Structure 1
Amino acid sequence: MSTPTASRDRATRSWNPAVYVIALAVVALSVGPVVYGALGGFRSNEQIARDPAGLPDPWRFDNYTSVFGNPQFWDYAVNSLVIAALTTAIAVGAGVMAAYPLARYRFRFRESLFMVFVLGLLFPLATAIIPLSIFISRDLQMSNSWWGVALPQAAFALPVTVVILRPFLMALPQEIEDAALIDGASRIGVFWRIALPLSTPALVTVGVLAFVTSWNSYLLPLLLLQDEMKTLPLGVADYSTEHSADTAGVLAFTSVAMIPALVLFLALQGRIVNGLQGAVKG
């Protein structure tokens, strides 16, 4: 039986100031630029030039109102939203249909097939960006379109989707599936009525990852999209070039462009953690 003194000693040993210092430093490096950019949008160029690290004094809202009143911003936002939604739907839909048989069925070369998806994690989109853009533009004739960007992004999001979903689906109790089959459910019925609802945390996790990755994508849209079809990352780059002297306006434009992905991630972070924990346990 442990004594109060022993408990206090264990608590003292478990409290390591270096861990908290490192954690705070990581948080500051991660959140600091976002906060600086958001606050910089509430300042004037004169304030930023006079005191780059200061707070808004007085607070100005015209930078943000000009962003929301800019028609090009909404064109960029709609393009980014549609492409990200298409990418997420394709990646999650195809990923769960590929992960389910790899998790619940036993067949020859099952593990070898799964290793194909695992190896896909080693090849990011940037490694094939040039031949892929040529193939989409010249052979598929899908340049400057939503589908031309969404389809390859979904294909490269498929490996991480399958790798996360498969262990989660493997962890589902076999007894539930057996009971449903005894009650007359088909294999497809088990998939739609049991596997998918129970896999909601993992589906949310891979969906958010696919959405945020697509929303922040830059290279592929840069090579495939022009003019009114450009996405927000391209819009931010164009706005920064055209208004390079308007530092406050650029900060406001950049901050607003981050809001959808940031809000989505913060709103669903609990489900994301649950989905990753289930995948690790599986």
Structure 2
Amino acid sequence: MSSKTGKPLKRRRNTLPLHVIAVIVGAFMVAPVVYALLGGFKTNSELSGNPFGLPSTWVTENYTDVLGSASFWRQMWNSTFIAISTTVLTVALSALAAFVFARFAFRGRELFFTLFTAGLMFPFAVAILPIFVLLRAFGLLDNPLGVILTQAAFGLPLTIIILRGFFRSIPGEIEEAATIDGCSPFGFLWRILLPMARPAIATVSVLAIVGSWNNFMLPLVVFSDESSWTLPLGIQQFQGQYASDTARILAYLILAMVPALAFYAIAERHLVGGLTAGATKG
């Protein structure tokens, strides 16, 4: 065997354990989704007798009944509005802060940056009581702004870290050339940095949207009016209402997951690149 043939073979043998682990982890992640998807097409009796097999008769009523429910679409709208608003606010504020921390030198810069990143050390659940008191004092209970502002505040630390790393990786010569051409600092951010930072912006947008979409505790604390509920709250209410109808609950879960999974699938190719952007330059 030649050395040229032996090297690729050896490389494949070295990466085989990693591939096996990836397949096993992927199977553990996909199996519950496939189980719920197929379970939504079964009757409850078939789900009990044949939980893992294909449906003998595909029951589409479980999905069509959910899609025909006005409350489902209202909760879908509430979740979409809150997720998009949270993402826009988080990315906009984080981009401005990351730009300052990355491209400006001033006394106390690292101290302020450390204060921002310290927010990663405080779990959301620990702060839920003071958040509730604060939102009540500002009259933001039963108001989407109560969820949007809070989620944006907790999303700032990680978003600033990712965007700052990318902004710092941009060569200073580009900024100098833009300044010579009469570009202001904000113009440099808007016209040059942000277009170049699309992978990083896509990454933080995915994280913000999926995090907001799956958030259960904060909407539970903020919203008492059923018309303001998001999908996670709707799932809990639906599960309580149809406790014995497991197949319909599974259909509801799948339909609630579709928008977030679709957005993630579209933006997935930017995710890894955005997370590693700026990792090699400081």
- Alignment TM-score > 0.5, same fold: yes
Cα distance, 1:15–1:160 mapped onto 2, change above 3 Å: closer
- In terms of mean alpha carbon deviation, does 152-161 or 114-123 score higher? 114-123
Question: CA shift at 1:13, angstroms?
Answer: 4.5
Q: Paired residue for 1:172, among 170, 173, 178?
A: 170
In 1, distance between residues paired with 2:263 and 2:8? 41
Counterpart code for 2:122:
F
- The CA distance in 2 between the partners of 1:117 and 1:164, in whole Å, is 12
Matched, 1:14 2:10: no
Q: Deviations over 1:52-71 (max 9, x none)?
A: 11211111111110011000
What is the deviation of 1:279?
A: 3.6
1:37 Cα deviation after fit: 0.6
Match of 2:208 among 202, 207, 210: 210
Report % sequence identity: 42
Provide Cα deviations, 1:227-246, integer angstroms capped at 9, x if missing partner: 11010000001100110111
Q: Distance in 1 between matches of 2:12 and 2:123?
A: 44
Residues 104 and 42 of structure 1: is their aligned pair in 2 closer, same or farther, counting only changes over 3 Å? same
Residue matched to 2:53:
54
2:272 matched to 1:273? yes
CA contact (8 A) 1:124 1:156 kept: no
Shift of 1:266: 0.9
Q: Deviations for 1:241-278, whole angstroms, at most 9, x for unmatched residues?
A: 11011111000001100111111111110111221121
Q: Is the contact made by 1:236 and 1:253 (CA closer than 8 Å) also made in structure 2? A: yes
Q: CA deviation at 1:5?
A: 5.9
Does the C-alpha gap of structure 1 residues 6 and 196 become closer, same or farther in structure 2, counting only changes over 3 Å? same
**Selected match of 2:221 from 205, 220, 223:** 223
Report the equivalent of 1:234. 233
Cα 1:236–1:187 change in 2 (3 A) is same
Q: What secondary structure does 1:164 align onto?
A: helix
Distance apart, 1:4 and its partner CA: 3.2
Q: Which residue of 1 aligns with 2:33?
A: 34
State the secondary structure of the residue aligned to 1:280. Answer: coil
Structure 2 vs 1, CA of residues 243 and 128 (structure 1 numbering), >3 Å: closer, same or farther? same
Q: Which residue of 2 aligns with 1:3?
A: 3
Distance 1:12 1:202, change over 3 A: closer
CA distance in structure 2 between the aligned counterparts of 1:190 and 1:20, rounded to whole angstroms: 43
Instruction: Name the counterpart of 1:120.
Output: 119
Give distance in 2, aligned partners of 1:136 and 1:194: 38
Structure 1: runs of 5 or more not aligned: none
User: Equivalent residues in 2 for 1:248-263 (5 A)?
Assistant: 248-263=247-262
Please tell me the residue identity of whatever aligns with 2:112: L
Give the Cα–Cα distance (whole angstroms) in 1 for the partners of residues 114 and 123 of structure 2: 16
In the alignment, the residues of structure 2 paired with residue 80 and residue 178 of structure 1 have an alpha-carbon distance, to the nearest angstrom, of: 43
Aligned amino acid, residue 76 of structure 2: A
- Number of the residue aligned with 2:64: 65
For 2:15 and 2:202, the matched residues in 1 are separated by: 34
Partner letter of residue 191 of structure 1? L
C-alpha distance in 1, partners of 2:259/2:253? 12
Structure 1 contact 221–231 (Cα < 8 Å) conserved? yes
| Inter-partner Cα distance in structure 1 for 2:178 and 2:159 | 26
**Distance in 2 between the 1:93 and 1:6 partners?**
51
| Aligned residue among 178, 181, 184 for 2:179 | 181
Corresponding residue for residue 192 of structure 1: 190
Unpaired runs of 5+ in structure 2? none
Q: In structure 2, how many angstroms separate the alpha carbons of the residues matched to 1:240 and 1:279?
A: 44
- Structure 1 residue runs of 4 or more that deviate by more than 4 Å after TM superposition: none
Query: For residues 233 and 55 of structure 1, what CA distance do their matches in structure 2 show?
Result: 27
- Aligned CA distance change for structure 1 residues 193 and 24 (closer, same or farther; 3 Å): same
Q: What amino acid does structure 1 have at the position aligned with 2:14?
A: S
Which stretch has the larger CA shift, 35-44 or 96-105? Answer: 35-44
RMSD, aligned CA: 1.4
Kept after mapping to 2: 8 A contact 1:202/1:274: yes
Aligned-partner residue type, residue 152 of structure 1: T
Q: TM-score, normalised by structure 1?
A: 0.95
Q: Which amino acid aligns with 1:256?
A: L
TM-score by length of 2: 0.95
Residue among 153, 156, 166 paired with 2:154: 156
Structure 1 residues 6 and 38, CA, compared in 2 at 3 Å: closer, same or farther? closer
